[in-house]
Amino acid sequence: MYVCTSCFNPQTVNLIGQTGLIPLIAAASAQGIELREELSSPVDGGWKQVGQAIKRSGLNAVYSTPKPLWSEGKKINTALAGSMVQAGEAAAENIKFALGEFQFSANRLADMRPWLTGVNRAATGINITIENDQTVLGGSLKPLKKFMEFCEFEALPIGLTFDIGNWHWTGEDPVEAAVLLQRFVRYIHIKQVDFCDGQPRVVPITAEATAQWRQVLRCLPADVPRTIEFPLPDSQSVSELAQYVQMLRQDI
């Protein structure tokens, strides 16, 4: 079980940084933390200092960047090299990107292998995943499935971060997506979504046996990390966070 730093109140993160959340997450008996590039704060003193704190805590780490793999020019996003370096400094074992403006064409996909070779030299040992985000380009089932099938066929070491709730923003069925994509999944974001005035919004998970997040999880691998990614009502309550960690652990 992992906990994403975006679960916490933004004021708390601004005050104590992501480094300050590490003891809270460890005390809740989670095994890992998901760091968010966009939540980088001067309070943390840089990614190397974050990495040192993570190593001392014994937690595993995932590094998340909102940058897409494919840029608007339908080319590999060269800015990702910097994110890979920062992930290495933060002691992350995994990094996740959005898909971005992907189009299936041989000339562009031919760039994938040399790019992977280059970034692996810069950050050896970091696993790469693509997440279904809340955009039409990066969160629709058809292009994601096509891209993951290409990676599988070419034996490219890229997995999928499956976000249970984001499918609602693109009008996809989360259960159908889980069935079709389950063999690619290496990491799972857990959240619950309800609708207000017809618009989806992320809320804390509920314990009902019929909750959709449980239905989706049954279709996904049980042996990959699961991450809490929903707003915590009391973002500094270790006991509350521990209850969610235990609920999700029992569901494996």
Model confidence over 198-229: pLDDT tens digits? Answer: 899 999 999 998 999 999 999 999 999 999 99
Neighbouring residues of 178: CB distance < 8 A, sequence distance ≥ 6: 162, 164, 216, 219, 220
Average pLDDT over the chain, rounded to an integer: 91
* DSSP 8-state symbol, 21: G
CA 36, 40, 41, 43 torsion-angle sign: positive
User: CA end-to-end span of the chain, whole Å?
Assistant: 10
Does the structure show a pLDDT above 80 at 108? no
Q: Domain limits at 29?
A: 2-250
The model carries a pTM of 0.94
Confidence band for 101, pLDDT divided at 50, 70 and 90: confident
196: left (phi over 0), alpha (psi -120 to 50) or beta: beta
Does the structure show a pLDDT above 70 at 124? no
DSSP string covering 137-149, please? HHH-HHHHHHHHH
What Cα–Cα distance (Å) separates residue 49 from each residue in 45, 80, 93, 125?
A: 6, 21, 16, 20
Asked if residue 53 lies in contact with residue 84, where contact means CB atoms within 8 angstroms, the answer is no
- Which structure tokens are listed for 127? 């696993």
What Cα–Cα distance (Å) separates residue 25 from each residue in 86, 178, 208, 249?
A: 21, 28, 24, 15
* DSSP 8-state symbol, 40: -
Residue 223 phi, psi dihedral angles, 5° rounding: -110, 25
5: left (phi over 0), alpha (psi -120 to 50) or beta: alpha
Confidence band for 147, pLDDT divided at 50, 70 and 90: very high
CATH number, residue 119? 3.20.20.150
pLDDT in tens, 12-60: 999 999 999 999 999 999 999 999 999 999 999 999 999 999 999 999 9
The pLDDT assigned to 96 comes to 96
Report the number of distinct structural domains present in the chain: 1
SS3 (DSSP) at 36? strand
Which residues are registered as beta bridge partners of 158?
128
Size of the chain in residues: 252
* DSSP 8-state symbol, 219: T
- Which structure tokens are listed for 110? 């031919």
What Cα–Cα distance (Å) separates residue 171 from each residue in 123, 134, 149, 198, 213?
A: 36, 10, 22, 12, 16
Confidence band for 130, pLDDT divided at 50, 70 and 90: very high
Separation between Cα atoms, residue 41 and residue 166, nearest integer Å: 26
Confidence band for 122, pLDDT divided at 50, 70 and 90: low
